[in-house]
Amino acid sequence: MDKVLVVLLVIGIVFGLFCLEGWLFMLLANWVLGLFNIAFAFTFWQAFGVVCLLSFIGSFFKGSSSSK
């Protein structure tokens, strides 16, 4: 039972960090778009999707370097 709680806690923390990153990305992107008077605003879920997508794509390039 304790292992299940630990796993759920870790999943919750990881999800919470992704939500925090999405919220910060949304604030920053909307601020930058406002500087240039661009009539577009990211919603939280769009920003969350971008953060997840960039994290997923970035994970492919972390282990791709080969040394001889």
User: Which of 13-27, 28-42, 51-65 is predicted with the least confidence, judged by mean pLDDT?
Assistant: 51-65
**Per-position b or e across 22-42, b if 16+ CB within 10 A of its CB:** beebbeebbeeeeeeeeeeeb
What pTM was estimated for this model as a whole? Answer: 0.76
**Average pLDDT, stretch 43-57?**
92
User: 23: which residues sit within 8 A by CB, 6+ positions away?
Assistant: 44, 47
pLDDT, position 63: 66
Is pLDDT above 70 for 65?
no
**Residue for token pair 């008077």:** 37
Is pLDDT above 60 for 36?
yes
Angle made by CA atoms 23, 52, 67, in degrees to the nearest 5: 130
Query: Which pair of structure tokens corresponds to residue 50?
Result: 């971008």
